[in-house]
Amino acid sequence: MSGPIRLIVSDIDGTLLRQDKTLSDDVISAVGRARMAGIAVSLISARPPSGMLWIAKRLELTGVIGAFNGGTIVRPDGTIVSADQLEPECAARALALLEHPAVTPWLFSGGLWYAQATDDVYVPRERRAASIEPIIKDDFAALLAHPDKIVGVSGDHALLARLDGEIAAALGQFATVGRSQPYYLDITAPQANKGDGVAALAAAIGVRLLLGPVLRLAELFGILAGAMLMALIGLWDDRRNLSPAIKLAVQLLPVLIVILAGVQVNLRLPQAVNLILTAAWILYITNAVNYLDNMDGITVMLAAVSGAFLTLIAVLNGQRLVSMLAAALKGASLGFARYNLPLPRARIFMGDAGALFIGFLLATLGIKLRIPGNTNLVTWMVPVLVLGLPIFDTALVFVSRWRRGVSFFHGGVDHTTHRLHRLGMDNLAVAFAVGLINSGLGILATFVMQADIAEAYTVGAIVLAVALYVLWRIEFRASDEIRTGQGLTCK
């Protein structure tokens, strides 16, 4: 060990409690000695808060404890500190997948336990563990706004084992699925697992974890390996000027790396469709950022502002891996800006190696971003808004070159930044304009993060309308000189 023990986190059933679900004097004494030695003690369990508070009181705990496997962090007086809950659509789908004659569903929400009958053999057992009475509801449809946990209960252990795998595959990254007992199949929010739960308890108590399950090391290393490979592809292209076909083909390798590491789009669609969407998103954003790197300081400003907003949104939603990588990207970009901004001219050029690296990181962080407190019918807009400028610019160039019969894969001076330059801005002004536009989109993304469906789609419709108007003004209404820079050559 590298230092003294500062925190003990214990499960409850099968660990602290005896078979009759009581605390022994030896356990109470041991916990007391740990506290006297300056070691913080906490609890984590699949139980609801009501089933844990009496234990915390008997053990005289003063710090937070983790109910629903850490999905709900609660103080010993019952005050909820934080709660990661299932999205309503995910909860509805989970209940649909649990529909089976041999399975009885339970729902926990807002400190209450809902069941469809009390004659189930497992109700008395849960009544004792949860320390609350079930509320009988024939239909849970009206209770899915903020579900803490859904449980499938069955004496058919083989059936629950099969449903465990099927439901975990169907819900993917939108839920944690697992059996807390052979007869209980628990479905909770993605962060409601004992790995993330222990990290949340440690953070709340003030104990630092350097590495652990919360960082999802496979995904972290997959993202970094993919980004480094993408940078090497960019360096290869800088030196050898690869053909578009070869460049696109080799870019599939880093995409494959992050997919194998577990980073992928996980919508309620067939897995093949999700994989196609993952590859399309990463390749589009990566190359869109690279295409936008056509003037000094553009990509570095885009990376700094996008990284800042991804950091903010990730921190607000407990996304530790995303916040760590996004903050690193933001800081590195700000440090590089003094050399890459035209002050009055850049001293270091980014090249494809840097632009592809940044684009790949932004694309993968956009996929990893999760907002558990809102529905994915809304939250898919958040990374799209944060990265709205490169998305718009690539679409603009595609439309412009399609209209003129020009290849999309060759360099040109018809990007958004070139057009701003020809409208009278100098290079530095264009770079700061990119930062300003991106900041506006980031603010909108932060609003959409917590908006309801009507508000989010109103914002989305307005942004789309403005984007279409700008495209019309600078492509369909602008002169050939503004659109294509007659007589100019590509940087």
pLDDT tens by residue, 416-457: 999 999 988 998 999 999 999 999 999 999 999 989 899 999
Backbone φ and ψ of 149, nearest 5°: -160, 140
Residue 344: is the preceding peptide bond cis (ω within 30°)? yes
Handedness of CA 157, 158, 159, 161 (dihedral sign): positive
Structural domain that includes position 200: 7-82+195-205
Nearest to 67 by CA among 41, 46, 85: 46
For residue 239, what is the enclosing H or E element?
helix 217-240
Q: Are 135 and 112 in contact (CB under 8 A)?
A: yes
d(CA 366, CA 289): 13
Query: What's the structural domain count of the chain?
Result: 3
Which whole-number Å values give the CA distances from 281 to 31, 90, 93, 329, in the listed order? 51, 23, 26, 19
Residue 348 and residue 263 share a domain: yes
Last residue of a domain, one of 190, 225, 259: 190
Q: Is there a domain that residue 32 lies in?
A: yes
The pLDDT, as a whole number, for residue 387 is 96
d(CA 15, CA 390): 53
d(CA 467, CA 473): 10
Token output for 329: 């990207």
The pLDDT, as a whole number, for residue 287 is 94
Residue 239 and residue 136 share a domain: no
Stretches in the chain below the pLDDT threshold 50: 1, 213-214, 487-491
Residue 122 and residue 23 share a domain: no
The pLDDT, as a whole number, for residue 365 is 95
Residue 53 and residue 183 share a domain: no
Residue 199 and residue 265 share a domain: no
Q: Are 89 and 129 in contact (CB under 8 A)?
A: no
d(CA 174, CA 151): 16
Q: Are 295 and 491 in contact (CB under 8 A)?
A: yes
Q: Are 437 and 305 in contact (CB under 8 A)?
A: no
For residue 65, what is the enclosing H or E element?
strand 65-67
Residue 177: give its domain's CATH number: 3.30.1240.10
Look at the pTM and tell me if it is higher than 0.75. no
Residue 60 and residue 131 share a domain: no
d(CA 491, CA 486): 14
Largest CA distance in the chain: 88
Burial-class residue 164 by CB neighbours within 10 Å (0-12, 13-18, 19+): middle
Residue 124 and residue 31 share a domain: no
Residue 121 and residue 67 share a domain: no
The pLDDT, as a whole number, for residue 216 is 66
